């Protein structure tokens, strides 16, 4: 479904806040005409600065996040956008919401950590979604458990929050955007990173967090040093450890490519 700007918010009832970040707040909501549950992300215009791009679909300048969501709205593993509209102070993105969806972070806080089979299924889904994102030219840049939704009934995953996203390119990115704890070691060493290499690092890191219930590197210095042998549990299967070490290799040139990850034996088990 194409995103169509609205001049009024009367189509929706805004409910309680679901979460807040540095630049936006997400509320529960209901669509008036049919009672459909939605999530409504209110983005403060004052935080956007000049972060706008021309949309050929809307024939106007829109926030970069909306532009990225236009490109990803047909990808199954990405949260589905229903609508968006503009007020005097905010851009509001209206997204699908189900009572069975919780963040992976919330799920881990309840479970503590996951077994390999469950972590493998989530990683497999994320890998295919990320590959599809890059095929349409989108670099999420902030992949972490709090930006991944899990349906506790269907086990389906959804990636959310493209506020730190960018257009995928083959060159190096020299601007920090995202969550420092999930940035790759090269950012702290040389101040730059590649989209694919950083994404592969994040996939490996999310898997490691699922299996241990904790972030492995407490400081930026620890990330830069990247002593994986100290944080990867010995009880994991050999294929799982191999997957993590190949995704989180200290040198970005030694990390797996996305197409190699998809066919890795750990995901094929």
144-158: pLDDT as tens digits: 999 999 999 999 999
Same domain for 262 and 190: yes
- Catalytic sites, residue numbers: 142
Domain-terminating residue out of 78, 96, 114: 96
178-191: pLDDT as tens digits: 899 999 999 999 99
Q: Which helix (H) or strand (E) holds 19?
A: strand 12-20
Residue 209 pLDDT more than 70? yes
Q: What tokens were used for 18?
A: 């679901």
pLDDT interval class at 23 (50, 70, 90): confident
Residue 55 pLDDT more than 80? no
Q: Where in the sequence is the domain holding 71, given as residue range(s)?
A: 5-96
Mean pLDDT of the chain: 92
What pLDDT score does 1 carry? 42
CB atoms within 10 A of CB 61: 12
Same domain for 85 and 120: no
pLDDT interval class at 2 (50, 70, 90): very low
**Residues contacting residue 105 through CB under 8 Å, at least 6 positions apart:** 144, 145, 146, 148
Determine phi and psi for 29, rounding to 5 degrees.
-160, 170
Same domain for 168 and 45: no
195-206: pLDDT as tens digits: 999 999 999 999
Model pTM? 0.93
Same domain for 143 and 255: yes
What pLDDT score does 97 carry? 95
Same domain for 77 and 194: no
Indicate which CATH number applies to the domain containing 183. Answer: 1.10.510.10
Average confidence (pLDDT) over 26-43: 95
Same domain for 134 and 46: no
CA angle 153, 155, 160 (to 5 degrees): 110
Same domain for 159 and 90: no
Same domain for 154 and 246: yes
Same domain for 83 and 61: yes
97-125: pLDDT as tens digits: 999 999 999 999 999 999 999 999 999 99
Domain-terminating residue out of 67, 96, 125: 96
pLDDT interval class at 32 (50, 70, 90): very high
Question: Which residue bears the tokens 């730190």?
Answer: 164
* DSSP 8-state code for residue 103: E
CA distance 137 to 130: 10
Same domain for 203 and 105: yes
Same domain for 120 and 70: no
Same domain for 125 and 61: no
The number of folded domains in the chain is 2
Residue 269 pLDDT more than 90? no
Domain-terminating residue out of 56, 72, 96: 96
Indicate which CATH number applies to the domain containing 86. Answer: 3.30.200.20
């Amino acid at each position: 479904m194409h995103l169509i700007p609205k001049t009024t918010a009367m189509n929706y009832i805004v409910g309680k806040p679901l979460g807040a970040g540095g630049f936006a707040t997400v509320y529960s909501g209901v669509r008036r005409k049919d009672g459909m549950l939605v999530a409504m992300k209110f983005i403060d215009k004052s935080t956007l600065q000049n972060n706008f791009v021309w949309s050929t679909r809307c024939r106007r300048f829109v926030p970069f996040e909306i532009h990225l969501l236009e490109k990803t709205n047909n990808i199954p593993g990405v949260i589905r956008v229903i609508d968006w509209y503009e007020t005097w102070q905010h851009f509001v993105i209206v997204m699908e919401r189900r009572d069975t969806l919780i963040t992976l972070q919330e799920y881990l806080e309840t479970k503590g950590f996951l077994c390999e089979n469950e972590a493998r299924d989530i990683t497999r889904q994320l890998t295919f979604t990320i590959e599809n994102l890059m095929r349409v030219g989108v670099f999420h840049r902030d992949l972490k458990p709090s930006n991944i939704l899990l349906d506790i009934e269907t086990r389906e995953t959804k990636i959310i929050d493209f506020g730190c996203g960018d257009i995928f390119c083959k060159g190096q990115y020299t601007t920090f955007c995202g969550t420092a704890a999930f940035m790759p070691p090269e950012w702290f060493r040389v101040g730059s990173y590649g989209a694919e290499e950083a994404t592969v690092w994040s996939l490996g890191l999310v898997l490691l967090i699922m299996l241990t219930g904790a972030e492995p590197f407490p400081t930026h210095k620890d990330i830069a040093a990247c002593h994986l042998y100290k944080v990867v549990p010995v009880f994991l299967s050999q294929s799982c450890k191999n997957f993590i070490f190949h995704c989180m290799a200290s040198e970005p040139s030694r990390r797996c490519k996305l197409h190699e990850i998809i066919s890795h034996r750990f995901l094929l088990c």
